[in-house]
Structure 1
């Protein structure tokens, strides 16, 4: 173990790595139920719930294990939220013109594009192209994004609509718009459990208790039993043996994809995946201190290749885009520093095929505090932004705030890249000496084209 994963070299040990892997898995386990629910949409897409569940667990397990064995990074992968919703929306809104088999074919094609971009080292060049301040901002933005996920999944943050005509053009937030507020922890037992869990986990972290995040999740889950949030009744009707019938393995309709003219959809999948993956990989790796190592660029390249292969593998298995998960930061926050963390998480995903009822027993209110705490841990990267230089400060600020506010890592990175290119160019005209990598110009043009010609909110 020590020799293969270089544990001592990374100041870690087997116990820490396994605990970190378990923490990451528990934090991500919600995808096992949410992804099938999203892709099947109550039967509206034509996909089978059990088939998607098997594809989710098997795909996440295999690709995450590959990340651990071939890259030695503590990063877990699974079908990405947002992209799965986009996938389902495309199928449902097409009026039968686009089937789920066609959708999977488009995802597979985007994965092949990723593999080509990785092998030609275009994706790796991003490490040199993106300024240090912007990379630090990406880490902070992802931290806030993770925090928002925690608040949202637990009900600690809610939104309600109070009367404005949804068809009317958006002007400014007022008394008749969507508003956000804290959940009611007096009447809502789920919100109360989140607050209790956040307090317990915070105390454990402040006391520097090893495995504090994992302990917090387990204790919160147990407290949720008398509160009625942790549903033990689901165990009585649980199916412990996986059902491998009616799977969607290899059901890709390439001919249908070409006839449907899915270039726009393939481009959107590819574009969003590019920045989501780059942000997640670099943000999580930076938090683990992996980007400071001499072989960082080489290993990031390998990580991107595994991620790219995961996209196509997921499509072959019967699920939407498999990509790096921001929740990996929970394991990193627990001390995970090597691929042993990922291998542990991957094995648990595969075991979830047989232990699904137990894995799904942990409520979202128990994992939400872990995500919020991870946001705290990632905020430290804000020190890496050159706030005194507006050429870096403004793009970094937009990157940070737009990720949580638009609920999109890609949107935050897009704004940061465009504003950096424009501000650095303007400063150079005024006599500055900012270096703008050629790839930043290419990305800025592609980003502007995307915003002009593609409905990003579709």
Structure 2
């Protein structure tokens, strides 16, 4: 095991890797409940999926492809059905339900499967890997920082410490001197009287204390400690109800909806824009996650070796997209929460293998996994955001040609709740600014031909598909 995963070479050991894998699993375990709840909201049969088959697909996809990432790439990155991508999957079905050509659950799964095949092609031809060479170093670090803030927003929202509301305002605030009312989205602090908010604050304090005391496994022990405290405080903080009718102890794999596709429906409905959007968002989401996690793990110190490993990881990720659809779930992708395991010292594929094994065990222990409150994992995500924010020191903010695209990348990820949006604006702004300096300024910046193609594709995507995909 030491030789296979190169543990000594990468400065780690078996215990550290397993603990890191368990930490990653604990921060991702919420997907086991959230994904089935999201995708089963459309009913059953031809109009949607059922809860238990989707739960099985979620656990199996996360377990199988995370283990594959560890074994074939030796990379501490876990995969699971992606948050945001499953919401888009749901929106495609819901928004089409009132049209003459409704998109069923099976048709949407087929679209995801097709996007996975496209990714496999782009990866085998090494188009995706070229991004690692084409992307300026400053933007790569900005992606890491942006993802850190994105993770923080997820933690704050999941805990209830941050709430999003809609309030009435006046056009005067927009510089228009009229009395016409409008509505705007605003952020608020959640109620401190809420048990969930109180528990996340306890979790933040507990994890922070363990970290400043340099306790190994601080994040994992913080999650477990917060859960235990919640149980002691009572049912208002942690639900201890176990419903074995919904989540049985022994998994019934015969209920997996394998290859639940509708090819005729795809051609009749016309899903070119949907497949294109799945492909576009997944392209940048995965790139950002893999590069950001690799930077955090210190695996990009040797750029040549790091780029090779990320390239291999992209192939596993591409196969996982189609593989997850075969099992019956929305897009399976690399998870930003992998940074939690990396923060605990995970450096090799053994971290990923451990995480994958825990996901497979969750098929048997789902009732117990459901006892872990969202507030406990939310506290961990907020702290992980802090750890990833440290990459900001590697960005040269005195060089505005790099600083402006980096800034846009960083702020648009959390504020638009979309990793792809941040990377998209970063790419376009860098190409425009670097070209202007090369033509009229006193600098000389390298603009890789792939960056030009990506900038054109980004502009075309927003022009013809829109910003909500």
The residue number in structure 1 matching 2:30 is: 30
1:145 aligns to 2:150 (yes or no): yes
Measured in 1, the distance between the counterparts of 2:21 and 2:175 equals 44
SS for the counterpart of 2:164 is: strand
Structure 1 residue 245: Cα displacement = 4.2
The residue number in structure 1 matching 2:341 is: 331
The C-alpha deviation readout for 1:342-370, integer Å capped at 9, x for no partner, is 00000111111110011121111001111
SS for the counterpart of 1:8 is: coil
Structure 1 residue 151: Cα displacement = 0.2
Task: Return the match for 1:178 from 171, 185, 208.
Answer: 185
SS for the counterpart of 2:80 is: strand
Measured in 2, the distance between the counterparts of 1:212 and 1:181 equals 29
Measured in 2, the distance between the counterparts of 1:263 and 1:4 equals 43
The residue number in structure 1 matching 2:462 is: 451
The residue number in structure 2 matching 1:230 is: 238
Task: Return the match for 1:118 from 116, 123, 127.
Answer: 123
The residue number in structure 1 matching 2:221 is: 215
The residue number in structure 1 matching 2:278 is: 269
The C-alpha deviation readout for 1:273-329, integer Å capped at 9, x for no partner, is 000000000000110011123421221111000000000000100000000000000
Measured in 1, the distance between the counterparts of 2:168 and 2:145 equals 35
Which sections of structure 1, spanning at least 5 residues, go unmatched?
Answer: none
How many residues end up aligned between the 2 structures? 454
The C-alpha deviation readout for 1:193-227, integer Å capped at 9, x for no partner, is 10111011011111110000000000000111114
Measured in 1, the distance between the counterparts of 2:161 and 2:67 equals 33
CA distance change for structure 1 residues 90 and 164 in 2, over 3 Å: closer, same or farther? farther
When normalised by structure 2's length, the TM-score is 0.94
Q: Is the 8 A contact 1:157 1:183 kept in 2?
A: yes
Structure 1 residue 455: Cα displacement = 2.3
When normalised by structure 1's length, the TM-score is 0.96
SS for the counterpart of 2:260 is: coil
Alignment of 1:5-16 (within 5 A): 5-16=5-16
CA distance change for structure 1 residues 236 and 92 in 2, over 3 Å: closer, same or farther? closer
SS for the counterpart of 2:241 is: helix
Q: Is the 8 A contact 1:40 1:47 kept in 2?
A: yes
SS for the counterpart of 1:432 is: coil
The residue number in structure 2 matching 1:189 is: 195
Q: Is the 8 A contact 2:49 2:105 kept in 1?
A: yes
Cα RMSD between the aligned structures? 1.9
Measured in 1, the distance between the counterparts of 2:145 and 2:307 equals 21
CA distance change for structure 1 residues 242 and 151 in 2, over 3 Å: closer, same or farther? same
SS for the counterpart of 1:159 is: strand
Measured in 2, the distance between the counterparts of 1:279 and 1:171 equals 34
Which sections of structure 2, spanning at least 5 residues, go unmatched?
Answer: none
Measured in 1, the distance between the counterparts of 2:462 and 2:241 equals 47
The C-alpha deviation readout for 1:53-73, integer Å capped at 9, x for no partner, is 000000110000000000000
1:206 aligns to 2:212 (yes or no): yes
1:51 aligns to 2:56 (yes or no): no
1:415 aligns to 2:425 (yes or no): yes
The residue number in structure 1 matching 2:384 is: 374
